[in-house]
Chain A
Amino acid sequence: MALGKIKADTLEHSTAGSLDTSYVVNGSAKAWGRVSLGGQTLKSSLNVSGITDIGVGQTQWTLVSSFSDSDYNPVVSSDNSSGANPARFGGRDSSQATGSYRGICSTTNNGETDGSLFSCAFGDLA
């Protein structure tokens, strides 16, 4: 394969100490995706095959390379850039499989609402 490769178990700084590269490998996000719910478009992403608009404020991300188990950690957030009042926030829905997870955009008093959702997921891949 024509990919360059550096193999190392440890990164060492001249004064600040050393770090096992497994921290880097295991600690990196394995998937991410930014969704504009109003336009139903997926912008910046990695390891996502598609999103599913499930209803108002609800999105499912489906993965290309699945996680090894369903105990991985998706993080979902929203924004308030359009001046929405009350403020929007994003959260993970409880339904989660090794190859997909869901996020919800909500407001503090109106429940689910359409808005941008940003997500990334951490864990071990299958």
Chain B
Amino acid sequence: MINTPSFQGTHLWDRLCWAKENLESHQSDYRVVYEDSVDECAKILVPDPNWMACALQGGILPPVEVYWMLAQDEAQPDFKKHTRGYLLHNSKPIEAMTEEQAIEYLIMKDVPQSVWRDYDSGNKPKMVICRKEQLPGTREWRNAWKISEDIKATEQAA
């Protein structure tokens, strides 16, 4: 296995270029299905194969809290431009993750916090992690897809 260079302080984009050059991409079968609005259909998050390779390798991606801090900055009414982008590049990169840990990281990065903070507190889960083959086989009625009423968030993926 190739060793990750010491990347702390290196621009994150340069690290991604290194990873694309040196790491084998990893196509994950995991999908994250979530609903963030009652008026909209379920959304499906698909991990990027190059990103997953970075997560499995370790020493490349910043801690997920950095993305939360940048999102907080961006949510300010007077936001014009990021002034704390250095957090992405100077924070200590996270260690290698398992695929399952990487999916949890990705949820905390790319799914709205309002969904994952209490995804299982209502009448039905607002978010479910499944495998690709557990999704409907065709795209018929895609704009009406919802998470099933009787699904249990803790059900094992097939």
Indicate if B134 sits at the interface (CB-CB under 8 A). no
State the Cβ distance, B106 to closest chain A Cβ, in Å: 6
CA distance A46 to B40 in the complex (A): 29
Indicate if A3 sits at the interface (CB-CB under 8 A). yes
Contact A47 B142 (CB under 8 A): no
Interface string of B17-41 (1 = CB under 8 A from A): 1101000000100010000000011
Contact A53 B48 (CB under 8 A): no
Chain B residues 100-131 with CB under 8 Å of chain A are: 106, 109-110
User: Which of A50, A69, A97 has a CB less than 8 Å from the CB of B48?
Assistant: A50
The stretch of A12-20, A60-68, A80-88 in contact with B is A60-68
CA distance A41 to B132 in the complex (A): 10
Q: How many residues of A contact B (CB 8 A)?
A: 36
Contact B143 A55 (CB under 8 A): yes
Q: How many residues of B contact A (CB 8 A)?
A: 44
Q: Chain A residue with minimal CB distance to B13? A: A65
Contact A42 B46 (CB under 8 A): yes
Contact A46 B16 (CB under 8 A): yes
CA distance A118 to B6 in the complex (A): 33
Chain A residues 69-98 with CB under 8 Å of chain B are: 69-70, 97-98
B-side interface residues toward A, CB under 8 Å?
Answer: 5-7, 10-14, 16-18, 20, 27, 31, 40-41, 43-51, 54, 61, 67, 70-71, 74, 80-82, 85, 88, 106, 109-110, 132, 135, 139, 142-143
Report 14 cross-chain contacts, Cβ distance below 8 Å, ordered by A residue.
A1-B10, A42-B48, A45-B50, A46-B17, A50-B51, A52-B46, A52-B110, A53-B43, A55-B40, A56-B143, A62-B109, A64-B61, A69-B81, A126-B70
Q: A40-B31, A47-B16, A52-B46 are in contact. List 14 more A-B contacts (CB 8 A).
A: A41-B46, A46-B17, A49-B47, A49-B106, A51-B46, A52-B44, A53-B43, A56-B142, A64-B16, A68-B81, A69-B80, A97-B74, A125-B13, A126-B88
